[in-house]
């Protein structure tokens, strides 16, 4: 059993209903919703940075995809600074005598 202490970058989670989906599925939806976006950015003088982001000036329309279940906001299924860790969230559901709790401490 593997516990993902800080989540998984290959999934996205809805901040409203907590449903998850694969990052690759969201990527396909984003690409369909923003057909030709990267090409327009590059034609306008934008550059791809080493980290994969694009740097550009100007205004470009970008359509953000929402949760298919409830229409909520999606984010990577990872723990950001200030978030409650997945392991801690799971540990809250265990009794102090449960041996599984020990795994969440290390």
List the helix and strand counts (H, then E) for the chain.
4, 5
Catalytic residue among 3, 5, 6, 70: 6
Query: How many residues comprise the chain?
Result: 106
- Check: CB of residue 65 under 8 Å from CB of residue 32: no
Q: Residue 6 catalytic? A: yes
Q: Which residues participate in catalysis according to the annotation?
A: 6
């Amino acid at each position: 059993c593997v516990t993902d202490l800080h989540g998984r970058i290959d999934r996205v989670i809805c901040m409203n209903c907590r449903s998850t989906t694969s990052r690759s599925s969201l990527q396909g939806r984003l690409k369909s919703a923003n057909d030709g976006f990267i090409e327009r950015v590059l034609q306008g003088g934008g550059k791809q940075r080493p980290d994969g982001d694009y740097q550009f000036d100007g205004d470009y329309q970008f359509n953000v995809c929402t949760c298919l279940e409830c229409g909520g906001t999606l984010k990577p299924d990872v723990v950001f600074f200030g978030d409650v860790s997945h392991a801690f969230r799971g540990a809250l559901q265990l009794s102090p005598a449960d041996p599984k709790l020990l795994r969440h401490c290390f």
